[in-house]
Structure 1
Amino acid sequence: MSQAPETTREPVVTPVRVVIGLCLVAPFVAMLWVGSYAKTDPVLIGIPFFYWYQMAWVLISTALTMIAYKLWQRDQRARTAPKGGAEQ
């Protein structure tokens, strides 16, 4: 009886994965730290800071999530790519 070698997939912390985590955590930190934006000044085209800051984070969060997704895709492709070229 031959047994297939056990492959354990341990979580690996890489710089790319740290960047992915930061991209995903940054919007939460920015929105939960209410004291940083609970004010009316500066006003942007008549909109108090409290409102336009939150709306800006909607766009920023979208961009950061997209960056995290693209980095994750690249990381997964790199992990599943054959090592050392084609073997015969």
Structure 2
Amino acid sequence: MTSRGRWLLVAVFLTPAVVLPLWVSLYDREDPVLLGFPFFYWFQILLIVVAVVLTVPAYLLSRGAERIDRVRHGLPPEPAGPTAPADTTEGD
């Protein structure tokens, strides 16, 4: 799969996590009640779980797409890690 295809798949994974909470008329009601909680509340909690489940594969796909893009541009697959800080302690 190309990096463009991976980035498109990342967008597909993240779209429900963004659009569903903004679509208030979808969950602006009280029925059905689940364990004493109106639909509005338990649907919000369900959206959190759905967002996490969709974000994890999107993150993993984005890491692969970034790796492909870096190699295509002549860079190493992984960015260089942070360098060790210089020894700033002063001697006696």
CA distance in 2, matches of 1:79, 1:33: 34
TM-score, normalised via structure 1 length: 0.67
Report the more deviating stretch, 15-24 or 64-73.
15-24
Q: How does 1:3-82 map to 2 (within 5 A)?
A: 14-81=4-71
CA distance in 2, matches of 1:28, 1:19: 15
CA distance in 1, matches of 2:29, 2:40: 6
Amino acid at match of 2:64: R
CA, structure 1 residues 25+13, in 2 after alignment: closer, same or farther (shift >3 Å)?
same
| Stretches of structure 1 lacking an aligned partner (at least 5 in a row) | 1-11, 83-88
Give the number of aligned pairs: 71
- Superposed CA RMSD in Å reads 2.2
- In structure 2, the residue matched to 1:3 is none
Runs of 4+ deviating beyond 2 Å = 12-15, 76-82
CA distance in 1, matches of 2:17, 2:48: 9
Q: Percent of aligned positions with the same letter in both sequences?
A: 32
- Give the drift of 1:80: 4.0
| Stretches of structure 2 lacking an aligned partner (at least 5 in a row) | 73-92
